Every structure is written in structure tokens, then in C-alpha cells.
Structure 1
């Protein structure tokens, strides 16, 4: 696969304009600040200037960290191929495109399950489209790079001949080429994470916090400074649990969670709302306000207190954070990237024995959207029972528009898939909604039970009475849910 060919920077200053100075005739350079900047290099380490000019335009047009990084990751396949094959961008032609596609399709990787394709057709198609977009950008911005256009329509004499089609739903125009691999249907692309998986991840978070349950090598490593280990372990436990709680509660994007502003959320016990930056909507990111209850506010405060305790502990040891205002802190004052949160979640899933199960943070977002649409459909059905006889575009658009305000989707049509799936489930089963409500109640009680069990073991205090009481409630709710499923 080779080493990564791009580097991300949180913020860079690049030359922008030259302003004339009166009377002297001289000029003063005016810099431009670009957030979430990405630079690409050749495999030999030298900067890939044309790709960087392209990335500069992408980074300047969006404040979404993921957008620029994804484009960089996709185009580096093309950069690496051209480097290995010693092909200039200006000479890339149909034959090269065919060889490039063959390599993408045939490349493999080693996994725990054995040798597998390095990527599926959908990923390959994304890489191909990104390459075509880059070559089109070069053709438009640097027409003298080659005697013939790098990419163009039939009879244009271009190195690569493309045509255009329009998506009937989005009305967006996109390039088409015979070598583009056929897309494959996504397998449960919008599936919501289930509570069994969440519980296993919570158990793994606890296992990592419990010193007695650590591998011998990890215990030996921590012996050198038990106080530092305990402070770090306590903070990481709260950070991981906070991540799960926030993803379940708000369905926000991981990048939005990482960029949550503590200053704007310092008084949520009184405001009972979380202020969330909406990514993929331009710069600066517009804010959306998410209403919460007092219990959720207390859970938020628990993490903030744990975060402050960790900062104070390290400060007493003259260890200071590079990013003290970030909501998420790295271990021992180190810097933390958003990708670290995603990778940590993947490691938790692996430790929880979920390597053979599809699990990702976006599944919390799917879970949230599903439940929010369910709530709104139930409200409409209660007010107008006739809506159960068939959905209308007005009903769909109204419900999706409300949920989009919570999730930050720019286009409510992105939620139509969820709407249709939830409408079908609600109208085809008389007990579906009550089962979902019972499941949510059971999930909440299980969260309480998990917190009590963790607290009892970690703090060495007797909470057996409270735990037995909550366990009895869990059993009661599970029995009720089981009876409803049997009736169905």
C-alpha cells in the first residue's frame, strides 16, 4: 500500500494579495489563512505542486476537515501510480487509465480473515472520479500544460474522452467514462447501531479502565508511575464514555464532537442546550442548538469535571497541553487529532470482539435519525390517523426538514431513505413503535446499571442494593419487550 502521501495542518498562512503602498510605489503582501490545510507529496518526499494547487482551492472552499482529507487520500492513489510508472500528469492517457483501473481492482490486503480486495467497487469508483476531477481542473486552470486537453468531450482531441450525465434527483452534472467500475449496492448503508453492540463497547471501555483486568505487560508499564497512570486512565474512561453518550444523544458527526466549543457550552446546566458546530456547511461553521434535559446536562458536566481534573493533575507536574481549549485532550498533554477518536473507537470495537461486525461511529447518527423520524411520525399519526393509510410528499418533507435541523443536513432529501424505512415499519406493525419505546427505556436503565457497576468496582464502594434494584428493573423491561416481540 505504501506510506501516506499527504499531511494535514490545522491552519496555514499563504500569500494572497499584494497591496500597493502610497507614494513609495512598493507593495505589501497580504496573507490568507486557510483552516484544515492538506499538502500532498510524491513517494520520494518532494511536494506534488500541481496536486497541492488543486488542494489549496479545495481547502479554501470548505471548512470541513474531512472533505479535504478525503480528497487528498483519494488522489494519492493516482499520484503514487504516476510516480511508480514514471508518467507525467500531462501525458496520462486512456491506456494509462486502463492500467490504473486494473491496479485498483486487483490490489489486495492482508486482514485477520485472510487476503481480501483492498477496496470495493464503490471506493474504486470514488478514486477514479477524483482523478477525473483533478485532470479536469488541470485542463481548466493550466491549458498550456499539454498540447492537447488532458480531459474533454469527444472530438476535442483530449488524452481522455469523457461525457456528461445529470443525476435526476440532485440535478448535478458528473463525468462519465467507460472505464469507471460499476457501483455495488451498499449493504445496510444506513443501519443503526444496536444496544447489544453499544453494551459490548462500554464493557471494553470499563475493562481498559480496570487496572486488575489489564494485560501483564500493561500493568508492568504503569507501575513506574501509578498516580499518572490512574489519572490518565480515569480521564480516558470518561472521554470514551462521553463520546458514546454524545453520539447516542445528538447523532452529531465525529468532527462536530471533536470541535465542540467549551466556551459556548460552559453553562448547559442552566441553558439545557448543547451548541454544536455544523460541519460541511461552510466557514465559519454555523451553530445549531440541541435541547437536552437535566440528566443529560449532568452527564455532560461529569466529563467536563473529569477533563479539568486531568488538566490540574498534569499542571501540578508541570505538564501543559498544547491545545488546552479543545474538548478532547490527548494523553499526558499530547496533541490529539479527530482521526484519533475514530481510530480509538475502532480499537475499542476490536477489543470488544467486534472485528467481524460492521461497526462505525456513523451508525450512532443513523440510530439518532431513525428515532427522531419515528417520534415525529407518531406525533402526526396521533393528530391525523389517516396518514397511516399512505405517506404524502408534504408529510415526508415536513418530517425530514425538522430532523435535518437537529442533524445539520443541508438537504432534507438526504433523510428520505430513513423516512420511508421508518414509515413502512410503523404502518406494517401495530407494536413496532411501542417496542421501540420500550427498547429506549431499557437502554436508559442499562446505561444506569453499567454506570453503577463501573463505579462500584473502580471506587471500591458497596452499591449492591442499588445494583440489584436496577437489575430487577432491567429484567422486568426485558420480559415486557420479549412478550411484545412474541405477540408480534
Structure 2
């Protein structure tokens, strides 16, 4: 079992690679015990606010973990801590809950909290997900051998349960879910799935630090400090690029394998792991790249190899981690560390008070892909058709192969988002294309300027020459595209 660090104020702990006994067999001949085990990729366990293990929830989480991979079990544990806190604060056991408690529970979740000096409030969609899971857990609890009350805890109106529910069907996934009268209405899907803008991406890219970085827990000499700084700059720029280009999940980015991609890049593709499946080992999907994009990936891998070689050269102990992203001491970068680094970059770029997260790159990628397919269809068919479900299904199936979605059902919500943001006036197409070319050219120039800052630490005169050329290039771009 690996992991298991409990953060301050947190009521759950996540463990990696957990072995659990599934059954014990006694040999009829020798009388020896044979223990069969199951290995869980992840297991999350909870406690009450007073530090006692929450055994009932842990029993349910263990049962769920047998059929889950990735971070879903961590999400379940995190969401159920809201119910755990509510019951603890109101001195109630799970079997004592009733309809009024559910209304109070939702009201409590709607109350803003102060975290790190900032006032935060859960969205209706977040509250809905927490309540759905809590009701699902209580339904399991009622049907388990642990529940002994004479009265039905949770059920429909005709059974006179303490918690009255109805069954509804999702308009997107068609899946059934438990509904309660206290459940708040949905937030706008478009607002929840807003893509990240080009302006925000550019500001994030321009905010990547290039100043010297020290290594955790080490006395760092200047030569190796430079190697670390150079690598971290390459890693951060690569992360933003691959997010923008592929729309992959953060957990997938931290598990992209190196060895499997060394030869694969020569064929114009990269192998990306697909999370959110029930496979214990992530399935690799092929994501095709252009020649220049393949070179961009190869550039990062060269920087990674040079970084590891210099760590070893200076006596650092480096593990043989077969993943793209490494920490500044050569270990595998975790998803949590990636998230924290991204949030620091968001703050540095001046977007701390805006909703900017890594998933917005995924929303952007899916939305842009739908728009490209729709525009291509309009060119070949000489019309825009925004009511053809067969067309949409065909488009979403193609996108699902790129994003790793097992089903297109969860992609349907992006259709309206893409159409709302799509410029459908044919006479504006040429102007849009010109603006895209100008934006691409200026983004390339900004990327080269950031790289030049790294060069300046080694060769200032060369960096000055490059800066002059970039000034001339940008002036030419503005003249060519008639930009002020």
C-alpha cells in the first residue's frame, strides 16, 4: 500500500496499490490456508471530524473501488465527507436521517465558506453531484446487512420512507439517478463547460517563470540549478501546449509513457493513456500529430533526457520513471502537484479571481473540433445543418477516439456550446482565417521571446539579435494583416 498522507482538515486519505483479501481457502488434504487477494489501483478511506474511522462509508468505498480505476474513488470519498460532516455536526447517525435533514444538508452546502481568505460557494451542479452520491450511498446502506431499523430509510412516496425520493433519467446520458425535492436546479451547462480563451492561454504562457529554481531538500549548486530551471521551463511550456493540442485529462498527462512513445513519434502520432475506464492499466490511444507537432514532442523529450543525465552527473539518485513529466529531483510528477503548479501559474498570470482550470483546455479542444467538422460539412454540402442528429453522432464518434470517451453521450452537451460560438456567416470566413493566421504568428513570436530569455542567461548578445529579429517579424505581421 502506497500513499496515505492526510492533509490538514481533510477527512479522507487516498492509498495507491492496495492488496485486499478476497477469500480464504483451506486445503482438504494438507489443511493449509490459501489467501486470494485483489489489487486495487486506488482506495480512499474516510474518518469522522473527531478522528474515528467512518467504518460504514469505508465499507462502501472498498466495495466501489473493486470496479473503479483512476481518481473516481477519491472523488467519491471527497464528496461523501460533506455528509459525514453534516451527520457529525448534527449528532445524527445515517439511519436517523429524514427528509428535513436532506433539506438542511443542501442548505448547509449552499452556505459560502471562507478558504484561504477567499469566499467560496459550491455551484448547484456540485451540490447535485454530492447529493446524488449521498442518496446512492444511503440506498446501499439500507440494502446492506448493516441496516437494522424497522422503518424504510429511503424510497419512493408509496413506501412511506423517511427520505422520499423519485427516480429520474439524465437527458444526456440516459442513466437513471435518484432525485430528491431538495436538489437544486442545474447550472447552465454552457457556463459550466466554458472553454479557455486564447487570451488567457497567452497570458499563462507569458507568465511561466524562467528565474532560477532550487531543488527540494538539496543544497543546489549553480550549474545544476540552471539545468533544473531549464527543464522546468520546458516542462511547463510543454504542458500548456499538449493541453491545448490534445485536450487530454490532467491524470492522463501525468501518466504518458516515455518508452512506448520513442518509436511511435516517428510515425506521426503519440500514445496517450485513457483514464476513467475500468481497466487497472490505462489503455493507450493513438493521437495523430503533424510533423511540426511531432518535433515539438521530441524537443521536450530531449530536454527531459538532458535533465536526467545532468542530475546523474551531479550525483543525484534518479528513479527509472517511465513517464513524461518529472519533478525537479527526477521523480514522477503527480496529478496533485500538476494541479497546484497550474494554479500558481493562474495566480501569476492575474486570473486568481476567475474560473481558470485545466479542464477548460479539454472543453476548448472538444468545442473547436466540433466547429471544425461543422464548417467542413458546410463547405462540402454548401449549407449549415444544426438539426441533423445523425451528423452530430458521426462527429462525436470521431472526437471520442481523440479524447478517450467510451461513449458519446457525455459529449452531447458540447454541441450547443460549439454552435453558439461558431461564426456562421460565410462572408466573414476569410477575415476569420486571416485573424487566425495573425494570432498563430504572434503566439509563435511570444513563444520564441520566452525561449530567448533562457538563451540570454548563456549568450546575451545572441539573445539580443533574436529579439531584434522578432521585433521586425512582429512589425511585418502587423503591416501584412493591417493590425494597429
TM-score, structure 1 normalization:
0.87
Instruction: Output one character per residue of 1:266-316: Cα deviation in whole Å (capped at 9) or x when no partner.
Output: 224412111111222321333210111222122212222222222223333
- The answer to whether residue 340 in structure 2 is matched with residue 343 in structure 1 is yes
Give the drift of 1:210.
2.7
Instruction: Output one character per residue of 1:376-400: Cα deviation in whole Å (capped at 9) or x when no partner.
Output: 2233222221x32654222222122
Which residue of structure 2 lines up, in the alignment, with residue 126 of structure 1?
Answer: 129
- The answer to whether residue 210 in structure 2 is matched with residue 209 in structure 1 is yes
Change (3 A) 1:419 1:480: farther
Which residue of structure 1 lines up, in the alignment, with residue 229 of structure 2?
Answer: 233
Which residue of structure 2 lines up, in the alignment, with residue 441 of structure 1?
Answer: 437
The unaligned stretches of length 5 or more in structure 2 are 1-6
Aligned to 1:38, the other structure's residue is in SS state strand
- The answer to whether residue 182 in structure 2 is matched with residue 179 in structure 1 is yes
- The answer to whether residue 100 in structure 2 is matched with residue 90 in structure 1 is no
Give the drift of 1:335.
5.6
- The answer to whether residue 292 in structure 2 is matched with residue 295 in structure 1 is yes
2:27 to 9, 14, 21: 21
- The answer to whether residue 484 in structure 2 is matched with residue 458 in structure 1 is no
- The answer to whether residue 77 in structure 2 is matched with residue 72 in structure 1 is yes
Aligned to 1:130, the other structure's residue is in SS state helix
Change (3 A) 1:158 1:417: closer
**What is the distance in 1 between the residues matched to 2:70 and 2:466?**
45
Give the aligned length.
Answer: 472
Which residue of structure 1 lines up, in the alignment, with residue 246 of structure 2?
Answer: 250
Change (3 A) 1:117 1:379: closer
Instruction: Output one character per residue of 1:441-488: Cα deviation in whole Å (capped at 9) or x when no partner.
Output: 3344334323322332222232455544444444555566677xx9xx
Change (3 A) 1:73 1:14: same
Q: Is the 8 A contact 1:222 1:229 kept in 2?
A: no
**What is the distance in 1 between the residues matched to 2:274 and 2:431?**
32
Q: Is the 8 A contact 1:200 1:352 kept in 2?
A: yes
Instruction: Output one character per residue of 1:36-87: Cα deviation in whole Å (capped at 9) or x when no partner.
Output: 221212223332221112112222212122x222111110111122223332
**What is the distance in 2 between the residues matched to 1:419 and 1:428?**
15
**What is the distance in 2 between the residues matched to 1:373 and 1:173?**
28
Give the drift of 1:405.
1.4
Aligned to 2:260, the other structure's residue is in SS state coil
Give the drift of 1:191.
2.4
1:150 to 142, 149, 153: 153
Give the drift of 1:204.
1.3
Change (3 A) 1:265 1:48: same
Alpha-carbon RMSD: 3.0
Q: Is the 8 A contact 2:244 2:365 kept in 1?
A: yes
Q: Is the 8 A contact 2:40 2:65 kept in 1?
A: yes
Aligned to 1:33, the other structure's residue is in SS state strand
Give the drift of 1:92.
2.4
Instruction: Output one character per residue of 1:412-448: Cα deviation in whole Å (capped at 9) or x when no partner.
Output: 2433343344446556322554455444433443343
- The answer to whether residue 272 in structure 2 is matched with residue 272 in structure 1 is no
Change (3 A) 1:314 1:45: farther
Change (3 A) 1:471 1:36: farther
**What is the distance in 2 between the residues matched to 1:143 and 1:352?**
52
Q: Is the 8 A contact 2:95 2:147 kept in 1?
A: no
Q: Is the 8 A contact 2:254 2:333 kept in 1?
A: no
Which deviates more from structure 2 when the two are superposed, residues 239-248 or residues 329-338? 329-338
Which deviates more from structure 2 when the two are superposed, residues 372-381 or residues 312-321? 312-321
**What is the distance in 1 between the residues matched to 2:466 and 2:113?**
52
Which residue of structure 2 lines up, in the alignment, with residue 8 of structure 1?
Answer: 14
Change (3 A) 1:48 1:480: farther
Aligned to 1:276, the other structure's residue is in SS state strand
Which residue of structure 2 lines up, in the alignment, with residue 260 of structure 1?
Answer: 256
The unaligned stretches of length 5 or more in structure 1 are none
Change (3 A) 1:446 1:392: same
**What is the distance in 1 between the residues matched to 2:249 and 2:358?**
8
Aligned to 2:106, the other structure's residue is in SS state helix
Which residue of structure 1 lines up, in the alignment, with residue 202 of structure 2?
Answer: 199
Give the drift of 1:107.
4.0
Which residue of structure 1 lines up, in the alignment, with residue 62 of structure 2?
Answer: 56
**What is the distance in 2 between the residues matched to 1:378 and 1:107?**
43
- The answer to whether residue 413 in structure 2 is matched with residue 412 in structure 1 is no
Which residue of structure 2 lines up, in the alignment, with residue 381 of structure 1?
Answer: 378
**What is the distance in 1 between the residues matched to 2:480 and 2:375?**
21
**What is the distance in 1 between the residues matched to 2:422 and 2:107?**
46
Aligned to 1:184, the other structure's residue is in SS state coil
Aligned to 1:261, the other structure's residue is in SS state coil
- The answer to whether residue 49 in structure 2 is matched with residue 43 in structure 1 is yes
**What is the distance in 1 between the residues matched to 2:220 and 2:386?**
67
TM-score, structure 2 normalization:
0.87
Give the drift of 1:27.
2.9
Change (3 A) 1:19 1:322: farther
Which residue of structure 1 lines up, in the alignment, with residue 3 of structure 2?
Answer: none
1:104 to 98, 102, 109: 109
Change (3 A) 1:459 1:191: same
